């Protein structure tokens, strides 16, 4: 995989799976970029998304709100969503706010892709 950039970018890992890199600080601006990228990928037929938090040091309340919107959009479109490489600090925040019950969590991008790969090969509703 290519190195994550400061701004969210995607790397097509498997045909129906996209990876979005969250960047170092998930706030309103970066959260909107993450949301836009995720929505674009869902519209283009991605059936599974990984948001990689490898470089994320801080997620503010607006960032969490935007992530909840991404989770909702994924749920409504039948897209599986995983968070990978979440730091202990950010994981505690996500647990406190209930986000961890709504997404697949993985220690690494590779683990998230392996978990979602099976889903992307199965038609929705099966």
For the stretch 35-44, pLDDT in tens is 999 999 999 9
Res 15: pLDDT? 55
Res 100: pLDDT? 95
Q: Give the domain ranges of the chain.
A: 10-116
Q: Is the pLDDT of residue 9 over 60?
A: no
Q: Is the pLDDT of residue 10 over 60?
A: no
For the stretch 40-99, pLDDT in tens is 999 999 999 999 999 999 999 999 999 999 999 999 999 999 999 999 999 999 999 999
Residues 81 and 104: beta-carbon distance below 8 Å: yes
DSSP readout, 17-65? Answer: EEEEE--SEESHHHHHHHHHHHHHHHHTT--EEEEE-TT--EE-HHHHH
Res 117: pLDDT? 79
Res 24: pLDDT? 96
d(CA 108, CA 113): 9
Q: Is the pLDDT of residue 1 over 50?
A: no
> Which of the listed CATH numbers 3.40.50.720, 3.30.750.24, 3.40.50.12780, 3.30.420.40 matches domain 10-116?
3.30.750.24
| pTM confidence score | 0.83
Res 116: pLDDT? 86
């Amino acid at each position: 995989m290519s190195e994550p950039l400061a701004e969210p970018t995607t790397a097509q890992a498997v045909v129906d799976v996209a990876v979005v890199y969250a960047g170092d600080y998930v706030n309103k601006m970066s959260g909107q970029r993450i949301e836009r990228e995720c929505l674009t990928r869902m519209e283009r037929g991605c059936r599974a998304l990984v948001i990689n938090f490898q470089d994320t040091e801080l997620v503010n309340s607006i960032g969490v709100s935007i992530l909840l919107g991404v989770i909702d959009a994924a749920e409504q479109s039948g897209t599986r969503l995983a968070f990978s490489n979440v730091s202990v600090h950010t994981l505690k925040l996500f647990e406190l706010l209930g986000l961890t019950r709504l997404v697949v969590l993985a220690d690494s991008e590779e683990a998230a892709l392996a978990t979602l790969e099976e889903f992307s090969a199965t038609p929705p509703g099966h």
